[in-house]
Structure 1
């Protein structure tokens, strides 16, 4: 690689046309300018100028190197300009959240992309621990989780709440949800079912449900694909607890019954990023859209 300092001296010499004036412009001595030119010629293995008294002419190789030096200078100028301009509507945004939230957010992010065609989104559905790990590792810039992460590693803010729903087949609509009923129907398990059940039973305001031993509930099935968890329930098999966004986005939602709780059960949603990580301005556009969707 050619020394950029030598290239800059050579370009300045050609632009100015005089060794003494080049030295003055670069705050160098004239012998220093000559030394840079000689070192550049040695590195190129070709003479770049031919001297005639106090003037000089470029050789053919000198003209090639001069054009190269101009290109380097332009590229550097463009680089510094790009560093000063952070377009809020251009570039990739890396976001991770739960599968249920991704069902809600992704169509809205596509609307945003249609509005600003130079923006695009990498959205990954993941559990809380993976969201936080990916942010810490730098593969994801922004995440949404349902518990407050370590303040020493992350900065966060509450951006909304998401209701949890106890879902049964449509045929049970209007029936009182008792422990006897749930034991007779059976649980459709999924990776977050125990977490959601515990939270729902503790906060729904029903004393009978709060006493249920979740581990003793009979299982009516297990599925780890979010979009399929409600399929057996829509066919009259089992019950489960899921975030409202997953239930509302299920194609056969008319075949489901959402049991009304005595008290509404909600999980707080925390927007998380790595502490002291300054995100590009396009993330402000993304965050504004997320807050608009979750308000």
Structure 2
């Protein structure tokens, strides 16, 4: 294998489900991503991807490489984080506020890695509704906020704060893979074809967009189940009780494994930036910077 860069590209193609999505995440052109995959296949002497399908799938050899490549990338990241964090002599306390749906895939790995190598570091992570987190941040109760763009999603401003980009987030419509009648693609006017499961509270900007489109389409639909807990909603949808929109980061694993089916909505594509906010005059600026670099490195992988 030629380099870690190719492995990262390959893993991203599989996890994102397409060359185009991988190119967007890696800030590359689609032809550049395709060329890296072809180079990796030539280097190994096998085909790694099944061509000619709407969503990219790995060949049996590709599935084996995918699992090993993830471990290689993860170990590389852990080594880099350990070296940087030890060199930074991380001491003190960081208070972080974020959404429940971001906790598992975004926060848990970082907390584990940093705490393992920095026994004098204290991390406090709170999960709440975005509006409540913003209020607490303005009162000085958090050093860091990790939220969807607060201006776009919560119609709010954070004064005297710096912001940095973390990742792109999308809202995907997903249904149970057990339902043979589940379509691959719909128009928004057909959203009532299955019972609606509603993800509440965390993305009010998205909910407003959906409600506006329902009004424009003359739809008057009620959800059969509502919750602000992504884990609960995933189980409800997997059981075949309905379909619903969920943050892509929280369900990519289930879609990739075939437990959930993504349904493309032709006339609704919702994408938003996940942002990292902190006070300009923060006393913990050095800690904040290392934490952001750790998170940024994880998302690149």
Query: Normalising by the residue count of structure 2, what TM-score does the alignment of the two structures yield?
Result: 0.57
Residue 109 of structure 2: aligned partner:
108
**Deviation of the 1:99 alpha carbon:** 1.3
| Matched length | 204
Residue 191 of structure 1: aligned partner:
200
Aligned counterparts of 1:292 and 1:224: Cα–Cα separation in 2: 28
Q: How does 1:72-151 map to 2 (within 5 A)?
A: 88-109=89-110, 110-146=112-148, 147-148=150-151, 149-151=156-158
Aligned counterparts of 1:87 and 1:279: Cα–Cα separation in 2: 12
Aligned counterparts of 1:118 and 1:251: Cα–Cα separation in 2: 39
Contact 2:184 2:264 in 1 (8 A): no
Where 1:276 maps in the other structure, the secondary structure is coil
Aligned counterparts of 1:218 and 1:273: Cα–Cα separation in 2: 38
User: RMSD across aligned C-alpha pairs, in angstroms?
Assistant: 3.2
Residue 155 of structure 1: aligned partner:
162
Aligned counterparts of 1:137 and 1:191: Cα–Cα separation in 2: 25
Aligned counterparts of 1:217 and 1:167: Cα–Cα separation in 2: 17
Unaligned runs of 5+ in 2: 1-86
CA deviations 1:68-103 (Å, max 9, x no partner) are xxxxxxxxxxxxxxxxxx964223321111111111
Contact 1:160 1:294 in 2 (8 A): yes
CA deviations 1:233-289 (Å, max 9, x no partner) are 101111111111221366996321112354753111221123433424222211111
Contact 1:197 1:241 in 2 (8 A): no
Query: Normalising by the residue count of structure 1, what TM-score does the alignment of the two structures yield?
Result: 0.59
Contact 2:186 2:265 in 1 (8 A): no
CA deviations 1:173-228 (Å, max 9, x no partner) are 444324464213121123237643444798xxxxx9894457x2232212233320
Residue 283 of structure 1: aligned partner:
288
Where 2:224 maps in the other structure, the secondary structure is strand
Aligned counterparts of 1:191 and 1:285: Cα–Cα separation in 2: 32
User: Aligned pair in 2 of structure 1 residues 184, 151: CA closer, same or farther (>3 Å)?
Assistant: closer
Unaligned runs of 5+ in 1: 1-85, 203-207
Residue 182 of structure 1: aligned partner:
191
Bigger drift between 274-283 and 108-117 goes to 274-283
